[in-house]
A and B are shown apart, each in its own frame.
Chain A
Amino acid sequence: MKMYEEATVVSVKEIAPLIFDMTVSAKSAKEAVPGQFAMIYPKNPSTLLPRPISICEKSDDELRFVFRIAGKGTKEFSTYKKGDLVRILAPLGNGYDINALKGKKVIVTGGGIGIPPMLELLKTLKANGTEVLGIFGYRDSVLFLKEDFEKFGKVYIATEDGSVGTKGNVLDAVKEHDIDFDVICACGPMPMLKAVKNFAGEKGKDAYISLEERMACGVGACLGCVCKTVKKDVHSHVNNARVCTEGPVFDAREVEI
C-alpha cells in the first residue's frame, strides 16, 4: 500500500514578500522527477483539502518547495519550524520526460510562482548534457531563485516593470536575445502558457507546459482538476484530462487553453 508520509521540516524561510522556501526530509523524495508535485496536508482542522505544491528541487532524501501564501493552508506552512512534522503525499503527476528532451536545444521558462518547479528541471537537463538555458519572468526586481538557477548556467530575466532584463514577458526576452531552440518547457500563469503554446506553434517547435488547477484528491478520483484536451482522455473519454494524473505537464499541442 502507498501512503502519505510524515515528512520532517528541515528549514523554512521567506525569500521574497509572501514567498517561502521550505525543505523537508522525506523518503518519497527518491522517486520524484522534475515537474511533479506533492499534496501537503494542513493541520488546521477547518481545512479539509491538501494543497498541491510543485517540487522545486530534490535530492535522494529531501524535497524543496517554494510557494506563495495564497490562503489558510500555505499561510500555515509558512509558520513551520525546523523539526515540525508535515504530512505529504508525493510524488504526484507525470513530470517532464527527460529522455525525450535529450539532444535538443531546450528553453526552460517560468513566470511568477511558476518559476520554482523549473529549477529541478534545469538542473536535471544540465546533468544529462542537454543544451538548456533558463528564461524567467518576474513582476519587478524581486528575483527569487535567480541565484539558484545561475549555478547551472546562463539565465535571462524579463520583468513587467522593466527594472531588470527585458521589459515585458519571457517571450519578449526570447525574441530580444534571438534565442534558437527546439523545445520550450514552461510553467506560469495561464496568459503566459497560452502565449508559449502559440509561439511554439507558429515556429513549429515543441512546447511542454505545466498546468495548474484547483484540486481536491490529487490522485485522479474526484475529477475536479480537468483541462480540455484535443484527444479523448484516458479516464472519461470526453477530452477532459486530469491535471493531477495525466498532467500537470502536457504537450502544448494536446491541450486547449
Chain B
Amino acid sequence: MNTKVSIAGVEFKNPVTTASGTFGSGMEYCEFADLNRLGAVTTKGVASVPWPGNPTPRVCEVYGGMLNAIGLQNPGIDVFCKRDIPFLKKFDTKIIVNVCGKTVEEYLEVVERLADEPVDMLEINVSCPNVKEGAIAFGQDADCLFGITKEIKKKAKQPVIMKLSPNVTRIADMAKAAEAGGADAISLINTITGMKIDIERRKFVLANKTGGMSGPAIKPVAVRMVYEASHAVKIPTIGMGGIASYDDAIEFMMAGATMVAVGAANFTNPNTTVEVVNGIEEFMKTHGIEDINEIIGCV
C-alpha cells in the first residue's frame, strides 16, 4: 500500500500536513501529536522582521467554526531560522515554511534568507484577510498574484506553493495566474472573511471587526474551490478548509487535492493530524486502494 505523494519533486510519506497558523512551528503540539507521522509540518507565517499582530480579542467561536484575526504575529525570520527550523529538523517529516510580507521586497527577503536553510518547500501567504497591507492585496487580483509569483520564483531555491484566498470572484482565474507566474503548487482555501457582533454590548466581538472563518462549517465551500482550482491548472493542489477527520481529507483528495492540511481541528483535538493519517490508511485497506494517488481528482 502506497501513501506517498509528491509535489515538485518533493516526496511526502503521506498526504497530510498542517494548515499554517494553527500549529505554530510544531513545538507547541509535539507533546500531543507525533510529528514523525505527518507528511509535512507547515509553519505559522514568518516575515522579514517580528510582527506584533492585532489587538485582542483575536479569536471567537461561531456556529460550526471560528473567526480569527491574529494578524500574523511572528518572531521574524532570524529567530525562526535559529529556533524553529532546527527544532523541526529533529523529526522525520518535511518542512513547508509559510512566508508573509507587506511588500514584494519583504516577501523576497524571507525567501532569500530561506534559500540555504534545510526546508523543503515555501508556501507564500498572499491570502491573509487580517493584515491591512500586503498579504491578501496580492491574492485578490490575478495580475498582482502573477507578478509576485514570478518575482518569488526568480529568487526561491525551494519549490513554491501559492496559498490562495477564497475571497475572490473566480478561484480558477487565481489558480491560473499562480501557475502562469511559475508556481509549483497552489494551496487553498485560506479563511473566509467573516464578522460576529455581540448583541448585548452592541460591539464587534473581534478587535479587528472582521476575522477569517475556519472550521467544519466552511468545508463544502473549500471542497468546491479545490475542485474548481485543481481542474483549472496542471500543478498540484494542497486542499484545506474544515478538515477534521479522514473522510474530510479523502473528500478533498477526490476533489483534486494531492495533499491536505488540518487547521482549526487541531484546537478541537490536538491529535487530529495523526488520526487523519491513520484514518486514511484504514480507508485504503477497507476499500482495497493500493496507491493513494489513485483517488486524487477521481470524481
A binding-site residues for B, Cβ under 8 Å: 1-4, 41, 45-50, 71, 89, 213-227, 235-240, 245
Contacts and interface: CB of A to CB of B under 8 A. Distances in A.
Contact of A226 (B53, B76, B79, B264): B53
Contacts of A214: 56-60
Contacts of A48: 61, 64-66, 215-216, 264-265, 267-268
20 contacts: A1-B31, A1-B33, A2-B31, A4-B270, A48-B215, A49-B66, A49-B267, A50-B267, A89-B270, A214-B59, A219-B31, A219-B270, A222-B24, A222-B59, A223-B24, A224-B68, A226-B53, A236-B79, A237-B76, A239-B52
Contacts of B44: 221, 223
B57 A223 contact: no
Given A50-B268, A237-B75, A216 B59 contact: yes
A35 B51 CA distance: 30
A46 B65 CA distance: 7
A225 B55 CA distance: 10
B61 A47 contact: yes
A34 to B, nearest CB: 23
Contacts of B167: none
Nearest to A87: B269
A239 B52 CA distance: 8
A233 to B, nearest CB: 9
B147 interface: no
A163 B34 CA distance: 55
Tier of interface size on chain B: 35 or more
Contact of A238 (B32, B34, B50): B50
B270 A240 contact: no
A204 B240 CA distance: 53
A50 to B, nearest CB: 7
A238 B76 CA distance: 10
Contact of B68 (A1, A216, A239): A216
Interface of B: 21-24, 28-29, 31-34, 44, 50-53, 56-61, 63-66, 68, 70, 73-76, 79, 215-216, 264-271
Contacts of B51: 236, 238
B29 A219 contact: yes
Nearest to A2: B31
Given A71-B61, A216-B267, A227-B56, 10 more contacts: A4-B269, A46-B63, A213-B57, A219-B29, A226-B73, A237-B50, A237-B76, A238-B52, A238-B53, A245-B28
B92 to A, nearest CB: 16
Nearest to A232: B50
Contacts of B33: 1
Contacts of A223: 24, 44, 53, 58, 70, 73
B56 A225 contact: yes
Contacts of B29: 219, 221
Contacts of B58: 214, 223-226
A47 to B, nearest CB: 6
A175 to B, nearest CB: 31
A88 to B, nearest CB: 13
